[in-house]
Structure 1
Amino acid sequence: MRIPYARSSPPSPTPETLAIYSRIRARRQPRPLIPLDLALLHNPQIADGFNTLMGAIRTQSSFPLALAELAICYVAVLNGAVYEWTAHAPIALRAGVRREVLEVVLEGRWRESGVVGADEGMVLEFTEQSTKSVKVEDELMERLKARWTAQQVMELTITVGGYNMVSRFLVALDVTESNGKTMEMPAKL
């Protein structure tokens, strides 16, 4: 990592920082704090806000989980965030993303592959437009609104935006020393 990781316990414990560390640990259970947490904990208040936002995106969304994970994986591919891909590709597969879909996303040939379904294609198109140019075309937004509720369109949007934030943070600081490594398909589950 380009800066040292923060300690896994607060260097100057106060009731507030102890509570923050406790909330982050609770979200990660049964796992320990991960490198992303240790990068963020240089500022516990920012880490706490990040934890709350990303926890809600991950667990409080009504948008279909498989499609959300597909979007997260595509954000990782578009931004070269190896750690994000490594963490989320297995989750995507367990959530129901078909292996052949994840493979063509990783290879950058999802449009011409013939294996991507209509909903998957809309999510991938949205993710690409939002990530690469920020502006999403009106025509695509109308298709999304015709398919999902306003809440779900918002949830897809915050998922893509949130994981763009994550990938940019991971890559800029080289969290887990993953920059320059190859993104690979997870082993068969």
Structure 2
Amino acid sequence: MARLRRTPPHELDPEAKTLYDGITSGPRGRFMVDEHGGLTGPFNAMLLSPPVGDPLQRLGAAIRYRSTLTDRARELAILVVAGHQDSAFEQSAHEPIARDLGFAEEQLAALRAGDTPELDDPGERAVLRVARALVTKGDLDDEEYAVLGERELFELTTLVGYYTTLALQLRVFRV
């Protein structure tokens, strides 16, 4: 059972309402609002502390919409985190996106189980390798470090950290 009530926008204080408007007016907004206007997923908890929640949601938007990672690489890495963290919300939110990007059911099942899916693209195999190392051991050896460019590696480590944070919050708040 969820630990947080989804607060309708008309009940939010001004600071939380500004954050709510920022989340719902962006590209993810239409997916994160319930029938009463309350925020779903990790965004509801962000309203508890707008000074922390706003930079966190802006980081997520940058990762999703402004990084150099391909859409498939991004979703692959998110699903690695979701599988490792056993985050049902992240899986249910991102598996449909991955399907739309051409991931097969067998690949999604492998990611869910923490197995290695068949991937034709060498860049995606590199992202998978690095993301798995990050979630399982929290570091990279020199060989793993060298499989991606530094910018892509920076963006991928940020993505893994962000979605790990969300998985923790989703678990704690029982979303």
Q: TM-score range by the shorter chain?
A: 0.7 to 0.9
Check if 1:135 corresponds to 2:139.
yes
Change (3 A) 1:34 1:142: same
Alpha-carbon distance, 1:81 to partner: 0.6
Task: Output the TM-score relative to the length of structure 2.
Answer: 0.83
- Structure 2 Cα separation of the partners of residues 18 and 83 of structure 1: 24
In structure 1, C-alpha distance between the alignment counterparts of 2:12 and 2:77, rounded to whole Å? 38
Determine if contact 1:36/1:170 at 8 Å carries over to the other structure: yes
Deviating beyond 6 angstroms after TM superposition, the runs of 4 or more aligned structure 1 residues are none
Report the counterpart of residue 36 of structure 2 in structure 1: none
CA 1:12–1:95: 2 relative to 1, 3 Å = closer
Task: Measure the CA separation in 1 of the matches of 2:12 and 2:95.
Answer: 37
Q: Contact 1:2 / 1:173 at 8 angstroms: preserved in 2? A: yes
Tell me the matched-pair count: 167
Match of 2:97 in 1: 91
Q: 1: distance between equivalents of 2:40 and 2:115?
A: 32
- Mapped to 1, the partners of 2:45 and 2:5 lie a distance apart of 5
Percent identity of the aligned residues?
27
**Matched residue SS, 2:30:** coil
Look up the match of 1:160: 160
Q: Could you tell me which residue of structure 2 aligns to residue 22 of structure 1?
A: 21
Instruction: Please give the residue correspondences for 1:166-181 in structure 2 after superposition, counting only pairs within 5 Å.
Output: 166-175=166-175
Tell me the SS of whatever aligns to 1:116: coil
Gap regions ≥5 residues in structure 1: 176-189
Displacement, 1:30? Answer: 2.9
Q: Pairwise CA RMSD of aligned residues?
A: 2.1
Q: Give how far 1:11 is off.
A: 4.0
Cα distance in 2 for residues equivalent to 1:35 and 1:105: 21
* Counterpart code for 1:23: G
- Preserved contact between residue 67 and residue 97 of structure 1 (Cα < 8 Å): no
The residue type equivalent to 1:45 in the other structure is P
The alpha-carbon deviation at position 136 of structure 1 amounts to 1.1
